[in-house]
Amino acid sequence: MKKKIIRITTVPMSLIGLLGGQLRYMSTYFSILGVASRGSKNELSSLQKLEGVPTYAIEMTRKITPIKDLIAVYKLYKLFKKERPFIVHSHTPKAGTLSMLAAKLAGVPHRLHTIAGLPLLEATGFKRTVLNTVEKITYACATKIYPNSHGLKHIILEHKFTSNDKLKVIAEGSSNGIDTDRFNPEKFDNEDKNRTLKKSLNIHEEDFVFVFVGRLVSDKGVNELIEAFNKISGTHKNTKLLLLGDYENELDPLFEDTLNSISKNKQIVSTGWVHDVCPYFAISNVLTFPSYREGFPNVVMQAGAMGLPCIVTDINGCNEIIIEGKNGTIIPVKNKDILYDKMLNMLLGHIRFDPGICRNLIVSRYQREVVWKALLEEYNHLKP
């Protein structure tokens, strides 16, 4: 009989997107159960079809909601006592805290949590104190913590959230690696389709296209990006900034000036969330990703696999994926002037990158099968 592993994220799209393909792969070796909130459109129901594993819905919120959180812990505890898993492995902050606590109370032998970023790094005052405490509780309840980058591991140790012997980076980093077959520019080398997509977005053939993919929030550096691009677009009319992502006004709103610029600057194209970013990468020239904090950003790997050079900030994950001068350039966090300078020099052709090198640096280090096999080996080394 296969040993049971319960994989948990706060929202279903993390199981579907963040870990795409991984649960199906692991189900060959273990009995896998996927757990998350049901989702506003019952997205969790699609996981069984996509990954071939059963699911169980437990409502969890991304914000601090004490009553709802306690209810979720109780429901998780009951689930773990019933299912008696060999491993509970969580991703995303809230799911990590709730499931690690519940798993410890339920006596689950192996309680694993993957860290893909630390939102608390941008918090201050009382909120920071609360988040630090919650983080320490999560790590104390877990038996193993997997930072998904070496930089993140160092940050965890610097903040003394846990001891070094509890920490391990799987493979070269990343929670799931990258599907380099899907993110392959040769599959999107279709002039007619690219021309049609450009026309729908009001992007002209001669335009130089910067692209940003992610949540449209302050922590992603979107305020600095818009300010830098406004300066460029004022003097270079053959440029576009393509924004792929949704706003999160409740959690981390953009500045009012930023929102006004996005709505008024006709050289900025905001699409909202898109299901498949590949065609958009195919019509773009450079990924701009000036985030304040990350774990191991998928979007940088995706863009690189599509042959795009990347402008990223000097933060963990980004500064491991990007090798300065090889597949992109690294800039200081929250520095709109240097961001502007790098964007302008790429636009003018003063800085050039080989698309083939950009892609090969991702393929050679972050193919998702490499990450899956390393995680499988980790699971197999855990003793009953």
Q: Is the pLDDT of residue 290 over 70?
A: yes
Percent of the chain as helix, strand, coil, to the nearest 5: 45, 15, 40
Segment 184-218, tens digit of pLDDT? 999 999 999 999 999 999 999 999 999 999 999 99
- When pLDDT is cut at 50, 70 and 90, the band that residue 5 belongs to is very high
Segment 25-53, tens digit of pLDDT? 999 999 999 999 999 888 999 998 899 99
Segment 210-224, tens digit of pLDDT? 999 999 999 999 999
CA 173 to chain CA centroid, nearest Å: 12
Q: Interior CA angle at 225 toward 224 and 227, to 5°?
A: 65
Say which residues have a Cβ less than 8 Å from residue 379's Cβ, sequence separation at least 6.
5, 26, 29, 30, 87
pLDDT of residue 263: 96
Average pLDDT over residues 121-144: 85
Q: Is the pLDDT of residue 125 over 90?
A: no
- Both tokens assigned to 370: 């490499």
Higher pLDDT, 320 or 116: 320
C-alpha Rg value of the chain to the nearest Å: 21
Q: How far is CA 373 from CA 51, 169, 172, in A?
A: 17, 13, 12
User: First and final CA of the chain: distance in angstroms?
Assistant: 14
pLDDT of residue 227: 98
- Both tokens assigned to 23: 């649960």
- In the block, residue with structure tokens 């990223």: 312
Q: Is the pLDDT of residue 131 over 80?
A: no
115: exposed, middle or buried (C-beta count within 10 Å: 0-12, 13-18, 19+)?
A: buried
Backbone phi and psi for residue 334, each to the nearest 5 degrees, phi listed first: 60, 30
Say which residues have a Cβ less than 8 Å from residue 2's Cβ, sequence separation at least 6.
29, 30, 31
